[in-house]
Amino acid sequence: MKKGFVLLAIVLFLGSCENKIDRKNAYVPESSGNLNHVTVVMPESDWNANLGNSVREALQQTYEGLPFDEPQFSINYLNPKTFSGFARQGRNVVWFQRDSLARFQLAENQFARPQILAQITGEDADIQQFYFEENATLLRRAFQENERKEKLRRISKSLTTEKSLGDRFGIELSYPSAYETVKDTTNFVWIQKPIQKGHLNIIAYTLDQSALEGKYTDKILDIRDSIGKIYVPGRLEGSYQITERAFLPYFYKTELDQKKAYLTKGTWEVANDFMAGPFVNYAILDTIEKRWIVIEGFAFAPSANKREYMFELNTILSTLKQQ
């Protein structure tokens, strides 16, 4: 029986692009809500039972690379009786409905723009839960991309005109004008944005193409520690930023700007002081110039949740392009 469900779910999803209502020319209001929030609509009895537990587990997976656990998405639960009018204008919506037809379907801009709406139907909560779980990874990716695009849209309203990264390294990065260059020296640029009780930071430097040969994971951490000692001092004399080694960072092989890249997510700390926070680091291979371009974002936000800060930095770094 489950195999039939899986096949039907796949067929319906693949066919959903063809079955979507073309709303390009139809008026729908602008979507609303905080970034990385998802509206979930189902009966309260299901929300407090297995189906609700499954949704919470899938959508509130830990946001990777933070010192303390924070969920990937915050959930706004709604009873179907209240899901009308303004309540339908969330940017990311999961709507469970009882129906004899069992399906999982994604729709764009159904009630607002931009919006991703996931509709899961089935004759009971068990069937709906099966369809949801089979497509949970797909749904998370759709919401992640929707939020990344929304963040870029907001950033585009006030882009910086600074050219320190272009002048120094021949790269472009889309970031808000609230960020300012605080250090620009030989092979190192540091850009910073003040926040309440802290700051967000972007740093960039280059390495020789041979610098990451061998065990690249160790090389990346050793190099960022040496860069921190030279360029990123702490508050106290003799203190400087290093990588927290007690918890092994996450390492990935990926691509950025259609180039081979290494992605590292972890926690920084300060040698000889008590400061720490999350960082995300890309090393991008530039075969033309025979170098690695390293671009990193890190947040200093003591006693504050850091998901949204790192989401901003991750989104900014994703825009890197070589001139």
Q: Which pair of tokens denotes residue 35?
A: 């970034």
Q: Which pair of tokens denotes residue 267?
A: 């926690």
CA 283 to chain centre: 18
Distance CA 41, CA 52 (A): 10
Point out which residues pair with 32 in neighbouring strands: 90
Confidence of residue 92 (pLDDT cuts 50, 70, 90): very high
Give, in order, the Cα–Cα distances in Å from 172 to each of 93, 162, 231, 271: 34, 10, 22, 32
Assess whether 201 and 232 both reside in one domain: yes
CATH number for position 293: 3.40.1000.10
Domain boundary among 135, 155, 175: 155
pLDDT attached to residue 136: 98
Assess whether 151 and 250 both reside in one domain: no
Placement of tokens 């920084």 in the chain: 268
Q: Could you tell me if residue 238 is left (phi over 0), alpha (psi between -120 and 50 degrees) or otherwise beta?
A: left
Assess whether 179 and 208 both reside in one domain: yes
CB-neighbour burial class of residue 98 (10 A; exposed 0-12, middle 13-18, buried 19+): middle
Assess whether 98 and 202 both reside in one domain: no
List pLDDT tens digits, range 133-158.
999 999 999 999 999 999 999 999 99
Domain boundary among 98, 121, 155: 155
Residue 237: DSSP 8-state: T
Q: Where are the alpha helices (DSSP H) in 2-118?
A: 2-19, 44-47, 50-59
Q: Phi/psi of residue 149, each to 5°?
A: -65, -40
- Which element (helix H / strand E) includes 100? none
Which structural domain, as residue segments, surrounds residue 69? 2-155
pLDDT attached to residue 25: 62
CA 94 to chain centre: 19
Domain boundary among 155, 186, 210: 155
Mean pLDDT along residues 58-81 = 97
Taking the chain, what is the end-to-end CA distance rounded to the nearest angstrom? 54
Question: What's at 233, amino acid-wise?
Answer: P
List pLDDT tens digits, range 235-281.
999 999 999 998 889 999 999 999 999 999 999 999 999 999 999 99
Mean pLDDT along residues 79-100 = 97
Contacts of 188 (CB under 8 A, 6+ apart): 203, 204, 205, 227, 230, 231
CATH number for position 60: 3.30.379
Assess whether 61 and 148 both reside in one domain: yes
Assess whether 85 and 196 both reside in one domain: no
Q: Which of 200, 215, 220, 233 is nearest to 310 (CA)?
A: 200
Assess whether 163 and 193 both reside in one domain: yes
Assess whether 106 and 12 both reside in one domain: yes
User: Do 304 and 89 touch, CB atoms closer than 8 A?
Assistant: no
Q: What is the mean pLDDT of the chain?
A: 93
Structure pTM?
0.90
Assess whether 12 and 122 both reside in one domain: yes
Mean pLDDT along residues 203-221 = 97
Q: Could you tell me if residue 82 is left (phi over 0), alpha (psi between -120 and 50 degrees) or otherwise beta?
A: alpha
Total domain count, the chain:
2
User: Do 136 and 58 touch, CB atoms closer than 8 A?
Assistant: yes
Assess whether 195 and 297 both reside in one domain: yes
Contacts of 158 (CB under 8 A, 6+ apart): 176, 177, 178
Assess whether 32 and 170 both reside in one domain: no
User: Do 200 and 306 touch, CB atoms closer than 8 A?
Assistant: no
Assess whether 19 and 42 both reside in one domain: yes
User: Do 230 and 186 touch, CB atoms closer than 8 A?
Assistant: no
Give, in order, the Cα–Cα distances in Å from 309 to each of 44, 248, 293: 33, 21, 23
List pLDDT tens digits, range 167-211.
999 999 999 999 999 999 999 999 999 999 999 999 999 999 999
pLDDT attached to residue 19: 40
Point out which residues pair with 238 in neighbouring strands: none
- Which element (helix H / strand E) includes 223? helix 216-231
